[in-house]
Chain A
């Protein structure tokens, strides 16, 4: 639902509404980034996060640079990248924990710099480590953070009970968190991030160092949050997790290299190959008829049909099917080839590495 690297704004796979980041970029911007927006104007109300040219420098080194992004309310956005790519810095920037060295951003309509205190009350942050007071009980931990969020005692009590029950920790609420398993600590940290009912959540590697069972519990919790309509920015190294949970994924290495839906990233990486399963094997006449179409680069027969390499699969697939039908072949299935997200990751990061090396 956003522009691909070539600047083409592709149609959404399931959700056909035009996504905010799908606007055609201005020439001065990279294709995957959004066009400039008047900084004095408030961000559109359907945007939970808006950032333009955001960057943070430590000494001479840019940890994050020229990051432009628009996230809809209720969207789950995955941030992928190697260690040191700037994911945690991006979260710290967008959660108003550190100030940007360049650019500007709004979170839930609030200016990141001028209204930093208010931003912090509108976002929930799950830090890379759970960061719990291990000598204190689960309830006491949440109560403390509820006070720091300025919640009245009655509200704190109600939300603490609701969240501890939601994450199945109520029965152990009075035990020191130092006795908890990693999964329980992570769930409690997520509960802490939700205590003030924030519309925007930043989750930094929520399943890192968890065993598969605990990771599944945390993923289910994130899926639940997604169902509640919160905007979530999820940093993770676990690619299947990102694919399962995220509406869009951004590949980050200092700057955003590519942003799109998981499905479109996979198909874009695989190229324009389309598999067509036929009732009968494809003969030379059929291949010749298909090959005559301008959109087809190459077509070859397979055991159960044919594979066609198309210039633009989105635009050329209907013509391909029409050509096959016109040649009196019976089409059973049309399937576009897709890469795995891991292949996409290495393609994006590898391309960047080549660029770096060339530079």
Chain B
């Protein structure tokens, strides 16, 4: 793989992304909401202690939370629900970019001109994948760091310790990037068949179904995923991403793009 060709694709993707206001808004908007949302919600619930049964379940699952006062426990519980929202950023942002990028090229019929050059399809795929994955990963990490910083300032060290615990770090720094890679591959797979970015995103949104299931289960106090759980999930997602990469490489062959993509 020749780096110069990958960089050329990457630069062009970035230049187009910066000129696409709609896409930019859909990328920048959610992180802001996800950073501010839990901070505001934490303040709202801090004065309302959790039901005794739920509080007991939480402390049983997380003994380190036993030292929190009832208000902080309620805030910690609400923050925990938002952890998975931070994982949705690396799921949705790459999906949006990849589908807009590939379907945009299908609509403007630019791919044939690109494929008529000596670029290898692996270089094209790599450039597009990096251009889609990096904003998703960066968005997730920046949003998390912003959120953790606000928690430190507004809620103090006890709750900051909760949101910077190993489960948060494993989720944000391991599972988030893995989800971003899977999301890119899903975007490529779906975009090769769909002709409308919105449709592709709706189909690709299946990626968040497992995340939503975990959110619901955690909110119901059924269980809390720990750092090991997030680490294992990251490995599983990476395996799926590797399978997706193989399928994506097959779909991203010159012949396939020119003769099978519709």
B11 CB contacts on chain A under 8 angstroms: 144
Digit string of B115-127 for contact with A (CB within 8 Å is 1, else 0)? Answer: 1111110000000
The answer, yes or no, to whether A352 is at the interface (CB within 8 Å) is no
CB distance from B199 to the nearest CB of A (A): 21
* Cross-chain contact of A98 among B5, B12, B254 (Cβ < 8 A): B254
B114 CB contacts on chain A under 8 angstroms: 145, 148
Given known A98-B255, A129-B109, A148-B8, contact A135–B16 (CB-CB < 8 A): yes
B117 CB contacts on chain A under 8 angstroms: 120-121, 145, 148-149
* Cross-chain contact of B112 among A99, A131, A144, A147 (Cβ < 8 A): A131
Q: In the complex, which residue of chain B has the Cβ closest to the Cβ of A123?
A: B116
Contact B258 A92 (CB under 8 A): yes
Contact A145 B258 (CB under 8 A): no
> Total interface residues on A, using CB and 8 Å?
32
Contact B108 A131 (CB under 8 A): yes
Given known A98-B255, A127-B116, A144-B12, contact A133–B4 (CB-CB < 8 A): no
A99 CB contacts on chain B under 8 angstroms: 255
CB distance from B256 to the nearest CB of A (A): 10
A120 CB contacts on chain B under 8 angstroms: 116-118
Given known A131-B113, A132-B110, contact A147–B259 (CB-CB < 8 A): no
B109 CB contacts on chain A under 8 angstroms: 127-131
In the complex, what distance in Å separates the CA atom of A125 from the CA atom of B112? 9
Q: In the complex, which residue of chain B has the Cβ closest to the Cβ of A122?
A: B118
A127 CB contacts on chain B under 8 angstroms: 109, 112-113, 116
Contact A135 B20 (CB under 8 A): yes
Contact B15 A58 (CB under 8 A): no
Q: In the complex, which residue of chain A has the Cβ closest to the Cβ of B113?
A: A131
- Chain A to chain B contacts (Cβ below 8 Å), 11 pairs: A95-B116, A97-B115, A97-B254, A127-B113, A135-B15, A135-B16, A140-B12, A144-B11, A147-B8, A148-B117, A148-B118
Where the two chains meet, the residues of B that have a C-beta atom closer than 8 Å to any C-beta of A are 4-5, 8, 11-12, 15-16, 19-20, 108-120, 254-255, 258-259
Where the two chains meet, the residues of A that have a C-beta atom closer than 8 Å to any C-beta of B are 58, 92, 95, 97-99, 117-118, 120-121, 123, 125, 127-136, 140, 144-145, 147-150, 176, 189, 192
